Structure 1
Amino acid sequence: MKTYKNQYLFLLFLLFQFSFGQSSKSVEKRFYTTKSLENNTSPTIDGLLTDASWDIVEWQTDFIENLPDENTPPTEQTKFKILYDSKFLYVAFKCYDKEPDKIVKRLSRRDGFDGDFVEVNIDSYHDKRTGFSFTISASGVKSDEFIADNGNNWDSSWNPIWYVKTNMDTEGWTAEMKIPLSQLKFSASEDQVWGFQATRRYFRKQERSIWQRIPADAPGWVSEFGELRGLINLKPQKQIEIQPYFLTQLDTYEQEIGNPFREGQDFSLKAGLDAKIGITNDLTLDLTIKPDFGQVEADPAVIALDGFQVFHQEKRLFFIENKNIFDYNFGNNEDNLFYSRRIGRSPQGIISTSTGEFVKRPQNTSILGAAKFSGKTKDGWSLGILESITGNEYAKIDKVSERSDVLVEPLTNYLVGRAQKDFNDRNSFLGAIVTATNRKTDEPQFLLLREAAYSGGLDFKHNWKSRKYFIAGNIVGSHVFGSKESITNTQKEITHLFQRVDADYVSVDTNRTSLTGTGGKIEAGKVSDGHWRYNASVTWRSPELELNDIGFLRQADEIKQTLYVSYQSLKPFAAFRSGMVRFEPFTTYDFGGFHNRTYYDLLGKAEFKNYWWANIGFSYKPRIFNNAYLQGGPKFRFSEEFVSYNVFGTDTRKKIRFQTGIFFAQGKNNSFSYKELDPSVTYQPTNSLSITINPNFNINQSKTQYVTQSSFEKGIRYVTSHLDQQTISASLRLNYNINPNFTIQYYGQPFASTGKYSKFNYVTNPRASYFGNRTVSYAKNQISYDSNTNSYKVDENQNGSTDYSFLNPDFSFVQFRSNLVLRWEYIPGSEIYLVWSQGTNGSGNPLDDLFVNLDAQILGKKPQNTFVLKATYRFLL
């Protein structure tokens, strides 16, 4: 426990240092005064800037370089004007360029951020933490983002309706924006002041210039904006948008003779509705009824040998929008009280079938509807409530033409409530969150599902001395309950493992019907002013913490202490445009007080003056103990580990550009190793077309890979072995843009992974320093392979009879996934999608080469095809 005290003392030392630190250098705030059009004609959005209405306001210029050489004159100057009326905000840009024929006009899908562009950031809340970003490229492609956490979070899933046009001339290029006030959030004050920033990217030199100077060592982005003034008698607009969709879907696949559920094809028609209703100008109600996510890209393939769940990014638009309000991250990067992928998850009910029965099991649970009430008020309240209901989901069973339906997922209600309040001139906030999951679990197939799960948390952050220093923290609690069987199962899940044989502070109680746990994090540090950044943090997750009904928690029972020190350049130097070095050590303990891990990480990042870049990192792990490796068995020790990770890339401005990642990890005495090569090549022959190929190859080897556990007269045997795993994949992305509103995208990825197990052994001394002393190998006359049952039989006491057996763990998994999407935004906010998805899964021969399995399982099988035609129309009321 002495280490915990040392960590807290270090935090107190940092706070003491902060109290006497010098405040950040102040930068004079600029302001622009706009005017109302009143009786003037609104400008036509054609990119020409010839309308007389633009003459009622002055140009604003004197942009300053922000990247790479901060606070120096930019290569080319930029100027802008802003007007408004009762419904819209109008922005005009004039971007000078001495060589207009060299302006880079790359096309991309919306939110592509490619080529030359200009951008406005508007903090209409004037909370100095959040904002709305509107970007237009020289080619006319729109990009838009919601900015949160003072510029640390840019959410490109936000897709407002707005209008743009660009034009080339002999002096450079011009742009006009028309932004509906209904897409912004602001107060009803008579005379308003908004935070404002304008940015230009000069692509040929990868240079960014901005209107309001923001130093390279500033504490954030939004807090440093200039001001937009002159907004008089501006009336908040209540946003009302309704977007119905209509969809037809055809699935084709290889017919299975005799299976009534696999006759070769299925056809369906669907319809649904999305709506966005402004309850006030600050707060919006989002609704979705029978949502469809048919054009969402498939998750990449992954093989998880450690037994832990795999985190997948959310890709469904309804759950992504305003995601920052509902986020409650703590501990590790993935730990969160709200993980929206739980909603609509694969059905969890357990069903059994007999010979001659065919089953059609749904892949996902249907979302009957969802509502989301969210926004931020002028008083600094960030509010969010999300409610979603998933329906009863049934599997169909057919036996000799007799059909029956079996419930595999019960009617479930999900609820998330979130609130934060800014105060202290927006330098501090307090927040809270609650979540609830409720389901009916009284049928036998749901015996292991929890009936209800609740979690809650409080969080805070305080900045001082011009946001140079901060202290932040959160605390979470969880409470789950259900049948004795479900709570017993929860205690035994890999997240908790209360049955661990050498853990005297936890144990499985089969009579419990609930679990209550806690977690949290406290962190303090320096984030601005000068070259140096540093912070320290303590994170904890109690053994009983359980979040996985609506959140994400990989592993409980950990106390983690982290230090972070970094040095970054503020100006180009020598051969570098920019550079950063970071050192981050951490230690972890379990709640039994055992020191599990010590870790040292050193990372360097650099961009060179030839526009190449590199990230180089090294890690050293002198102490590694794992509570979960033997999945309920004793704590297992790994040999000290050395890690190297290196990623470098070429000039992204070029038509042909590439990057390569090389990763290497090695355990002492060659007890385990991991090698990965991850190159990527992009070819962009024209502004409209880009092709990216990203092959990946990795080799994972271990001499003590966990296989299984079996009961034996001398106790439980934890079986391990030598493992040789090889994995290969290659993703291909093709983007073709007919115009900014009509795009064609293709994504395809073949994936193959083969694992071969040999030299089986069992654990005898799991904490031994030398890996060879942790296990004992089976003698040849103790273990044999039975090809009839594809299993290994063990006669450990060599008495002629089998003491225990286990299935052959060798595997070969092959998968192919692809999506071809044609997207046409025929009017702003309304789209037509044509989607062709293709996929196949297969199990190859582990003894065959990876490429042989790819050929046999992908090229040699008929894939499943899905064709979707979807149309939406967005009504603005």
Structure 2
Amino acid sequence: MKAEKKTNNVIIDGILNEDDWLNASVADNFYTFEPNNGTLVSKELRTEVKVLYDNDAIYIGALLYDNDPSKILKEITERDRFGTADSFGVFINGYNDGQQDFQFYVSAANGQSDCNFTSQNGEDYSWNAIWESKTKITDIGWIVEIKIPYAALRFPSSNIQTWGINFFREIKRTRQKYTWSHINNNVGTFSQQAGILNGIENISTPTRLFLIPYASSYLNSNKEDTELTLKGGLDIKYGINDAFTLDAILIPDFGQTKFDNVELNLGPFEQEFNENRPFFTEGTDLFNKGDLLYTRRIGASPIFKPKLGANERVDEFPSTTNLLNALKISGRNDDGLGIGFLNAITEETTVTIRNTEDGSSRRKVVSPLTNYNVTVFDQRFNKNSSVTFINTNVTRNGSFRDANVSGIVFDLNTKKNTFNLSGKANLSSVYDEKNTNGINSSLAIGETSGKYRFGIGAEYISKDFDNNDLGINFQTNYYSFYTNTSYRILNPTKIFNSFRVLLSSYIEFNNLTNEIQQNNFGIDINTTSRKNHYVGMGYNIKPYERYDYYEPRITDRFLITPKLQNFWFSISSNYNNKFALDLNIEYVDFDQNGRSDFDFSIKPRYRFSDQFSLIYEINPYTQKDNIGFIDYIDSSNEIIMAQRNRTTLNNNLTSKFSINSQMNFNLSVRHYWSIAENNAFFSLQETGRLIEKTDYTENKNSSFSTWNLDLSYSWWFAPGSQATILYRNNATNSTNDINKNFNKNLDTLFSDKLNHVFSISIRYFIDYNQTKNWFKKA
């Protein structure tokens, strides 16, 4: 494929009538990617693509033929949501190294989606670029016109550019997917089978400097108080060169990020939350190498709890620490070496401690001024392999805990992409009252081509491995082994579009005792019918008792947990239909009299029009005779476990109304309620077994409920510029007293606990080059 130099002005209007378009060379002859992999597309559904370029951007024009344009699906959605619509995409790899694509999609409703795809981590739709597109439906199909500024891409500093490129098309009504460069689903990954784009020569790219100032206001109101907060800040994006970019946020504002799905957590580990803050999700593929980074640590609740006297209490313990600023530098040089640097600083946080006897108070630091840093060097080679060094570091001001983790990660593939060897070796060091060092290592090999595939691997984690200052890791002090083998069809049959069966096994041992901590053997089947309905099912068994070293919450103590087996079943009907349904069922049967788990969810969805849709989900979950930690008695060094019945009900409602692809209303509602009622208590013995304890009378029941409602209006009024209006209310209630009346639970939340937030935020994208031209004209 050859890009042609643009000589005249091109207007992005979905009409390819300029002379440059008429004279450009054509890429056609698309191949089916799914479901009939490798077949040439029919003439009546052919696609023709042309590429232009100048010193500012690359331009793509596509004519997508359709023998029945009236059936082109075109649901309107917000950015990065495909919906039920035909789409066209262009995938660009400026280094032509087969391992990373910047993917840009346009729907038939003129919606935009973009993602950063890497062969190791897959698609990352949190990445957003600034680009232009326009579509137009005609009597022979539809047209796409795209302008992608070089600022949205990464490529070497070279007079002659050779890029990897592919074009993608999906016809939604038939779920047919096509690519210009044939993607053989028998081997390798998507990005390693791209075509070549030549012709881009001697470009002089403009300065890549973008300023995104913002202003926001928040009106917070509850039963006790009303408060108005005004905020302002600035995001900076600067292209150090065509390969490396600096991103920085000064005085960040994350007040409009999505709420967390908080749950009643009775287990020994913290609840892990998704990262919803754009700065920490966009373009972070380098920093996620080796799974050492959990960015929710930055700005999280303080980890240092103050020591309290007999009559002392903390007024209010903060749920977050303020982020002062953050920056990241990332890119890749001509030799395929990726370099990433991320740094963030949080401010000192204190609490007020009051003496309830004499009324005196004192301040105590619970989180000092803290610097978080991640440094990455990632070398790619052979278009399918990489070796990575990553270091995370947390430095706290004063005599507080510091931490450092370094890791080597490798992902190696044979030349024909038929076998993979991967692994890691991480070393952690914690500097506290007692300095500790630990290691985390793994090695795996697998066949990655053909209908039959296999994998085998092992992992070793020492007792003192600890990356939790800037990462997240729940279990240590074990070694494990796993195997898997699978069969899949590569092309449709009379019944299935896709069919895959997986056999897997896993076993885990404690390093010191060699007792089995975990084990599982299972079979899972996933299918898609010729009418694009999904059906999946599976059976798993844990045939050995497990030694749980975490549930007792005391070092070197363990609870022996019973054998179990579980069954799951899932269906998801074709989303092309106006009405669709998702159904999931799972049942767990324990080798313990009366103990079981049952998880059920049903999610109907209805698309009233291309603009309006509604999705509702109800998810009841019950645990009968569950066993878990409830108390520790210091005087007798006794661990108390409870047998409890737990019932959870989770209701979710989401809806969207799209005026057009730039204006959207969104509604998200969640009510979560979980109760855990203890019916018997036991003393945990040194052997890991339980003896009933009849004299324990503490009320350790739990009733936890949360309510969240977000109603937002979003308007992309200019490229990269957005105005958002958000109304949010939320409430949380936690108590040891159980009332099983559903209406009473809601009344308590709404009458006593409800908080209201009304906010307006405006972000404006400023291109330095445009600003420079404004001043010249002035």
Regarding TM over 0.5, the answer is yes
**2:392 counterpart of 1:435:** yes
Matching of residues 102-501 of structure 1 within 5 Å = 102-114=71-83, 115-149=85-119, 152-255=121-224, 264-329=225-290, 336-351=291-306, 359-395=315-351, 406-423=364-381, 425-442=382-399, 450-483=400-433
> CA 1:364–1:638 in 2, change beyond 3 Å: closer, same or farther?
same
Counterpart for residue 743 of structure 1? 664
Counterpart for residue 528 of structure 2? 607
- The CA deviation at 1:464 is 1.1
- The CA deviation at 1:118 is 0.3
Which whole-Å CA distance do the structure 2 matches of 1:396 and 1:871 have between them? Answer: 35
Which whole-Å CA distance do the structure 2 matches of 1:289 and 1:404 have between them? Answer: 32
Equivalent in 18, 28, 42 of residue 51 of structure 1: 18
Counterpart for residue 553 of structure 2? 631
Counterpart for residue 772 of structure 2? none
Which whole-Å CA distance do the structure 2 matches of 1:591 and 1:850 have between them? Answer: 47
Which whole-Å CA distance do the structure 1 matches of 2:750 and 2:247 have between them? Answer: 44
Contact 2:12 2:147 in 1 (8 A): yes
Which runs of no fewer than 5 residues in structure 1 stay unpaired?
1-31, 256-263, 330-335, 443-449, 484-512, 768-773, 785-791, 793-806
Contact 2:289 2:388 in 1 (8 A): no
Counterpart for residue 725 of structure 2? 834
Counterpart for residue 598 of structure 1? 519
> CA 1:545–1:651 in 2, change beyond 3 Å: closer, same or farther?
same
* SS class of match (1:231): coil
Matching of residues 638-717 of structure 1 within 5 Å = 638-670=561-593, 672-702=595-625, 704-711=627-634, 716-717=637-638
> CA 1:153–1:238 in 2, change beyond 3 Å: closer, same or farther?
farther
Counterpart for residue 753 of structure 1? 674
- The CA deviation at 1:431 is 1.4
Residue identity in the other structure for 1:306: G
- The CA deviation at 1:844 is 5.4
> CA 1:843–1:459 in 2, change beyond 3 Å: closer, same or farther?
closer
> CA 1:734–1:353 in 2, change beyond 3 Å: closer, same or farther?
farther
Contact 1:518 1:542 in 2 (8 A): yes
- The CA deviation at 1:588 is 0.5
Q: Which structure has the larger Rg over C-alpha atoms?
A: 1
Q: Percent identity?
A: 24
**2:28 counterpart of 1:61:** yes
* SS class of match (1:166): strand
* SS class of match (1:324): coil
Matching of residues 532-547 of structure 1 within 5 Å = 532-547=452-467
Contact 1:671 1:704 in 2 (8 A): no
Which whole-Å CA distance do the structure 1 matches of 2:386 and 2:176 have between them? Answer: 34
Which whole-Å CA distance do the structure 1 matches of 2:60 and 2:687 have between them? Answer: 67
TM-score, with normalisation over the residues of structure 2?
Answer: 0.94
Residue identity in the other structure for 2:457: S
> CA 1:518–1:397 in 2, change beyond 3 Å: closer, same or farther?
closer
Summarize deviations over 1:771-820 as a string: whole Å, max 9, x none.
xxx323235xxx26xxxxxxx2xxxxxxxxxxxxxx31111111101212
Which whole-Å CA distance do the structure 2 matches of 1:95 and 1:288 have between them? Answer: 41
Summarize deviations over 1:149-183 as a string: whole Å, max 9, x none.
26x51111111111111111110111100111121
Which whole-Å CA distance do the structure 2 matches of 1:190 and 1:876 have between them? Answer: 25
Contact 2:731 2:750 in 1 (8 A): no
* SS class of match (2:22): helix
Which whole-Å CA distance do the structure 2 matches of 1:376 and 1:671 have between them? Answer: 58
Which whole-Å CA distance do the structure 2 matches of 1:53 and 1:120 have between them? Answer: 19
Residue identity in the other structure for 2:467: L
* SS class of match (2:500): strand
Summarize deviations over 1:623-654 as a string: whole Å, max 9, x none.
12212222226332222100112111111101
Contact 1:619 1:642 in 2 (8 A): yes
Which runs of no fewer than 5 residues in structure 2 stay unpaired?
769-778
- The CA deviation at 1:862 is 5.2
* SS class of match (1:209): strand
Residue identity in the other structure for 1:825: W
Residue identity in the other structure for 1:832: A
> CA 1:565–1:85 in 2, change beyond 3 Å: closer, same or farther?
same
Residue identity in the other structure for 2:98: K
Which whole-Å CA distance do the structure 1 matches of 2:193 and 2:375 have between them? Answer: 30
Which whole-Å CA distance do the structure 2 matches of 1:87 and 1:470 have between them? Answer: 39
Which whole-Å CA distance do the structure 2 matches of 1:308 and 1:206 have between them? Answer: 41
Counterpart for residue 495 of structure 1? none
- The CA deviation at 1:397 is 7.2
Counterpart for residue 843 of structure 1? 734
* SS class of match (1:831): strand
**2:5 counterpart of 1:36:** yes
Summarize deviations over 1:437-456 as a string: whole Å, max 9, x none.
111354xxxxxxx5210110
Which whole-Å CA distance do the structure 2 matches of 1:478 and 1:401 have between them? Answer: 44
Summarize deviations over 1:3-34 as a string: whole Å, max 9, x none.
xxxxxxxxxxxxxxxxxxxxxxxxxxxxx112
Which whole-Å CA distance do the structure 2 matches of 1:536 and 1:809 have between them? Answer: 44
Which whole-Å CA distance do the structure 2 matches of 1:386 and 1:131 have between them? Answer: 22
Equivalent in 496, 499, 505 of residue 585 of structure 1: 505
Counterpart for residue 498 of structure 1? none
* SS class of match (1:113): coil
Counterpart for residue 722 of structure 1? 643
Contact 2:515 2:547 in 1 (8 A): no
Contact 2:700 2:736 in 1 (8 A): no
Contact 1:246 1:871 in 2 (8 A): yes
Which whole-Å CA distance do the structure 2 matches of 1:453 and 1:730 have between them? Answer: 40
Summarize deviations over 1:460-485 as a string: whole Å, max 9, x none.
222114121121111000110123xx
Equivalent in 731, 755, 758 of residue 864 of structure 1: 755
**2:451 counterpart of 1:531:** yes
Which whole-Å CA distance do the structure 1 matches of 2:645 and 2:529 have between them? Answer: 39
Equivalent in 536, 539, 548 of residue 618 of structure 1: 539
Equivalent in 811, 814, 820 of residue 705 of structure 2: 814
Which whole-Å CA distance do the structure 1 matches of 2:411 and 2:314 have between them? Answer: 56
Which whole-Å CA distance do the structure 2 matches of 1:622 and 1:270 have between them? Answer: 57
Residue identity in the other structure for 1:435: T
- The CA deviation at 1:706 is 2.7
* SS class of match (2:276): coil
- The CA deviation at 1:544 is 0.5
Contact 1:62 1:77 in 2 (8 A): yes
Which whole-Å CA distance do the structure 1 matches of 2:468 and 2:174 have between them? Answer: 47
Equivalent in 59, 72, 81 of residue 90 of structure 1: 59
> CA 1:594–1:862 in 2, change beyond 3 Å: closer, same or farther?
closer
**Cα RMSD, aligned residues only:** 2.1
Counterpart for residue 487 of structure 1? none
* SS class of match (1:222): helix
Counterpart for residue 777 of structure 1? 692
- The CA deviation at 1:594 is 2.6
